[in-house]
Every structure is written in C-alpha cells, then in structure tokens.
Amino acid sequence: MKRVLYLVIACTVAGSVGGCSLFGSWWGPKRAAWRSKAENACLSSGAVVPGPDVRPMGEWDGPGACGADRPFKVSAVGRSQKVPLNKTTDLNCPMVAAVDDWLERIVQPRAMEQFGQPVVGVEHMGSYSCRSIAGRRQMSEHAYMNAIDVSGFKLADGRTVRVRSGWRSADASEANFLRAVGGAACEQFTTVLGPGSDAAHQDHLHFDLARHSKGRRVCKGGDEPVPDGGRMFSFFKDRSVETTGSIAPRNGAGGGALEDGWFSEDEIEE
C-alpha cells in the first residue's frame, strides 16, 4: 500500500513537470478553463482555416496539464500569402491566428519598408514543449502550444535576418526591422520577449498568449540604442496595452482565482 502511495505521490510531482503520462491525462493537473474557451472561440470565429499548411491534429492531452484541445500542425504562416516555417510546429488556434495576423499586418509591411522586399520564410526554434519556465514551478506557455520562439526571417533575395546577429547589427535596417516586428507584436500577443529582456532571449523573439493579471501585456526586449542612421523604437519597452480582440478579459468566465497562465506583469515567460 505504501508503495502505491509513493507511486501516486511521485507521479503527482512528476506529472506537474511533464514526467508521468500514465496519470497525467486523467488525474493530476488540469489545463485552466480559459484555455479551452480561447481555443473554442478562435475555432468558431473562422480565424484559422485548415489546409495543407495548417492541419488539425486532434486533442493533445498530457503529460500533466500540457497540451491543447484542438491544436494544429503548422508548416506555413500568413494570410494573403503563406510563408513557410523552417520546420513544422504545433500551435493552438489563437496562436495560429495571432502569428498569421502578425506576419500579414506587421512583418511584411516592415520588411518592405526596411528592405524593399517581402519575407518569404520564418525561422523558429520551437513552440510546443511540456516544461515549466526556467527556474520556476509555473508552466511555460510553450507547454500549452500557446507560444513560439521566432529566430529569423528569410527575405526574397535569399538573405536571412536573424535575431542573434541582426539585433545589434551594424546594418541599421536589420536592427530596426527586428525591433519593429518585436515591438508591434505587442498588438497581437500578450507576451513579447526579445534580446533586451534577459540572457535567455538573445537569439529569438518569444511570443505567447498568456493571460497576465489585469489584462496586461508584457513586452520587453528592445532598449539598446540602434546603430547610427537607425531609429529607436521606444515601444519595445515594458508597456501595457488595452485588451482587445479575441483575448478575453480576466473577469470573464473561467477567470477569478489564480489559474495557471496568470502571473503578474513583472514576471517573465520564456
């Protein structure tokens, strides 16, 4: 009996960090109710149209609370023009819609401004990962297919603008472009973290749709001076933006008590 108890305790602990799939799906931590509601609202809105590049993959449940109800396997992003990802990735519906909008409304216009050509490919370092935030007990939004780490942009002429090399590049157009697409991403996502936020984000822009307290958004990453001839984008500092669109308010159904995904605006997600 004792052994069973130890197993149960061990699996409860392991399940919370993604280690015990045997129990995780039906017993143990559950995804917060707002996550299903956000997915359902997105699916019924028609914001994501399934196709060869956006394939429904069915429920992904566990280990622990990890996964999503009806996520997609995504190999290209964008709206009027689909742009391939460097590798297929798993995202929930609200993230697919947000990435599509970000590419269409923010990335492509800025690419035309800075480089006179469109982005034809997006490089990322991953989306789904059943894990907690580094150094914290709280689960990462990556655990819910509710985050993506974008590391580079391939331009039509074959050049690739990467966060790692471009952020502090002597080429002001690269530095400005990356700050612009990161800063304006605060309109589409609730968390945006870039190289100015901490050591863990030197080579990518982290985007997610976490629910922060009071409907705030966390946008950190771009305080460094832009090289000569460049332009400083002040909006990629900490700031809060009014909640809009499909992002439900905190006090909506499913809100209230501290659920996973809620954290104060000064905490950061990786």
- Residues interacting with Zn ion, by CB under 5 A? 149, 206
Q: Which is nearer to Zn ion, 25 or 208 (CB)?
A: 208
Backbone angles phi, psi at 232, to 5 degrees: -85, 130
Q: Which is nearer to Zn ion, 23 or 236 (CB)?
A: 236
* H helical segments located in 56-151: 93-101, 108-115
Closest-CA residue to 120 (of 95, 103, 98, 99): 103
Question: Which residue number is nearest to Zn ion in terms of Cβ?
Answer: 206
Query: Shortest Cβ distance from residue 147 to Zn ion (Å)?
Result: 5
Query: Shortest Cβ distance from residue 193 to Zn ion (Å)?
Result: 7
Residue identified by tokens 């990356």 is: 178
Q: Would residue 89 be called left, alpha or beta, if left means φ above 0 and alpha means ψ between -120 and 50 degrees? A: beta
Q: Which is nearer to Zn ion, 155 or 217 (CB)?
A: 217
| Residue 163 vs residues 12, 40, 42, 268: alpha-carbon distances, Å | 38, 33, 30, 19
CA distance 106 to 125: 20
* H helical segments located in the chain: 2-16, 21-24, 33-45, 93-101, 108-115, 163-166, 172-183
Name the DSSP letter for residue 139: B
Using the Cα atoms of residue 74, residue 134, residue 202 and residue 190 in order, give the sign of their dihedral: positive
Q: Which is nearer to Zn ion, 8 or 125 (CB)?
A: 125
Closest-CA residue to 196 (of 225, 227, 157): 225
